[in-house]
């Protein structure tokens, strides 16, 4: 499952350095997660680091993906 940031985002920037895949960038109003780069930290960490550091608790499940799909995406991003 790739994650998404809800409209509750305060644009605090805490999530950006926490992402091992550089999947989070500043959008027009709030930060956004690139679903092609988000692996929910599978392959890098035990849990999604952006969710752990988000003070607004505004990062939730976006697209449903299997652990195998997330790991394949991680391996493609980090050959």
- Going from N- to C-terminal start, the domains of the chain cover 2-77
Which pLDDT tens digit goes with each residue over 19-43?
999 999 999 999 999 999 999 999 9
Residues whose CB is less than 8 angstroms from the CB of residue 46 and which lie 6 or more positions away in sequence, other chains included? none
Q: What is the pTM of this model?
A: 0.91
C-beta of residue 41 within 8 angstroms of C-beta of residue 48: yes
C-beta of residue 36 within 8 angstroms of C-beta of residue 63: no
The answer regarding whether domain 2-77 maps to CATH 3.30.70.20 reads yes
Q: What is the pLDDT of residue 67?
A: 94
Which pLDDT tens digit goes with each residue over 61-73?
998 999 999 999 9
Percent of the chain beyond pLDDT 90? 94
């Amino acid at each position: 499952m790739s994650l998404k940031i809800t409209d509750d985002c305060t644009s605090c920037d805490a999530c950006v350095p926490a992402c091992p895949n550089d999947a989070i960038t500043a959008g027009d109003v709030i930060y956004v997660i690139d679903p092609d780069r988000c692996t929910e930290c599978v392959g890098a960490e035990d849990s999604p680091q952006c969710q752990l550091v988000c003070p607004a608790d505004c990062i939730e499940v976006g697209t449903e993906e299997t652990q195998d799909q997330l790991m394949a995406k991680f391996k493609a991003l980090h050959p």
